[in-house]
A = this chain, B = another copy of it.
Amino acid sequence: MNKNSSNIMALTPNTSNKRETICIFGTGDFGRALGHKMIQSGYPVVFGSRSTQKSSLIPKDAELLSHAEAAQKAAIIIIAIQRQHYNFLTSLAEILHGKVLVDVSNNLKINQYPESNAEYLAQLVPGAKVVKAFNTVSAWALQSGTLDASRQVFVCGDDMEAKQRVMDIVRALGLTPLDQGTLLAAQEIENYPLQLFPMWRFPIVLSLCLATFFFFYCLIRDVIYSYVYDNQDFSFFITISIPNRVCPILALILLALVYLPGVLAAIIQLYRGTKYRRFPDWLDKWMLCRKQLGLVALAFASLHVLYTLVIPIRSFVRWRISSQIISQALNNKTEPLNNTYAWLSDSYLALGILGFFLFVLLGITSLPSVSNNVNWREFRFVQSKLGYLTLILCTAHTLVYGGNRFLSPSSYRWYLPNAYMLSLIVPCIVLVVKFVLILPCLDKPLTRIRQGWERNPQYSEQSNYIINKSAV
């Protein structure tokens, strides 16, 4: 059910007592928060604890018993204790036989133990049906009812029926259970809440480094040079003018870096004559974060668009234009329209608009809910055809922006070329190599390799090569 309705339900607790009793082992923060929420949702809750003296911490409507007594009162037992304390459960093995044990534990770091906590629990109490669940929900969120974030609860377990019962409880709490299969998935589920944007780290670090470099590069060329030679103070350029140079440069370079690994992979496959050998690790990792690279590039492109569109509102720009007009008026000059310049200016704007438009389209299709609704053929069409068209348009936008300034000596200050020239290196390489790769003499063997053909099967371990087209 959607967030709205569940939120409403959270305020109008369903106190029907038709639900089965749940036992919770452990009266720590998470156990109590879960107990609170379950009582709110109409479940009778009994806590199992070492000390049976009821503390104020236990929700009022819950019972507090010894572990053994509590376990006997319910068919589903939530183990809200830490892994180090699991051992005492072996002494309860008889009582726990046939019961559903729900492991809700989390670790402090990724892959902390050789086996997952849930698998460890299943080994300790072999007669019980262990289900992993609830570890991705925070106690604070359960307590405060502010489940704005993901309501997904990953559930896994070897016993189908036990899993179904736990999933029913998850739903009753207003959360969305997601079946993740057998208990072998527990390790991944336990690692999940510990991650902090793992795939985003490389793109973000890379773009921060590039941004710092280009920021100081432009600072030297545009602010310090003017200050040294013309004694003009353009320090306010660091708020808009320089970011508006850095952003498009980063957007273009990062966009090219999205397509570079694909081109490298094609070269490696052509050279090796097979697709069945693994790429070097760095290439594998690079390919896996292409989507994130592209989205960071899109972020810089969007900033570039915003910075560009406010240009006419900037007080500096207004002052510059009006002083130009006034000096022309005072000199009684009227300039005719420079047609070449009008063409250049309009074309580079038009190329930029179209490039940005396609870039946003690519970004939208990478939204999970959109990419889930397209099949492979459609996804490849969008990401490769539209992607390269975007790269071509953005590169052309930068080239036309340069116009006839490439060779003018005034573009070189302190022998430093304009920053946008540096940004053109990677995209031009990618486009040229890609153009070479789609020549029929290279495209044909590449297509065959990608369909499973191998050039030199005799070099591998076995020498018998069977042409196996019908694949039987």
Cross-chain contact B60 with A461 (CB below 8 angstroms): yes
**CB nearest neighbor in B for A147:** B288
Residues of B contacting A333 with CB < 8 Å? Answer: 326
A212, CB-defined interface residue at 8 Å = no
Residue pair B450, A140 in contact (C-beta under 8 Å): yes
CB contacts (< 8 Å) of A152 on chain B: these are: 372
Q: Contact: B468 with A27, CB < 8 Å? A: yes
Known: A28-B452, A323-B335. A9 touches B188 (CB 8 A): yes
The answer to whether A472 touches B49 (Cβ under 8 A) is yes
B188 touches A29 (CB 8 A): no
Chain A interfacial residues counted at CB < 8 A: 181
B-contact 0/1 string along A26-67, CB 8 Å cutoff: 111111110010000010000001110111110110000000
Asked whether A405 is an interface residue with its Cβ less than 8 Å from the other chain, the reply is no
A368-B376 CB under 8 A given contacts A19-B184, A342-B236 = no
The answer, among B25, B367, B472, for a CB contact under 8 Å with A81, is: B472
In the complex, are the beta carbons of A168 and B182 less than 8 A apart? yes
Q: Is the CB of A7 within 8 A of B335?
A: no
Q: A312 at the A/B interface (Cβ < 8 Å)? A: yes
| Contact, CB under 8 Å: A472 / B148 | no
Flag if B310 contacts A27 (CB, 8 Å): no
A328 at the interface (CB under 8 A from B): yes
CA distance A219 to B330 in the complex (A): 38
The reply to whether B383 and A4 contact each other, CB–CB distance below 8 Å, is no
20 A-B pairs within 8 Å (CB atoms) are namely A7-B199, A11-B285, A16-B184, A18-B184, A29-B452, A54-B464, A56-B454, A56-B462, A57-B452, A57-B468, A85-B470, A149-B383, A160-B164, A193-B375, A240-B346, A307-B353, A309-B313, A322-B324, A322-B328, A325-B329
Q: In the complex, what's the smallest C-beta–C-beta distance from A470 to chain B, in angstroms?
A: 6
Cβ of A245 under 8 Å from chain B: no
Query: What residues of chain B lie closer than 8 Å to A236, measured between beta carbons?
Result: 339, 342-343, 346-347
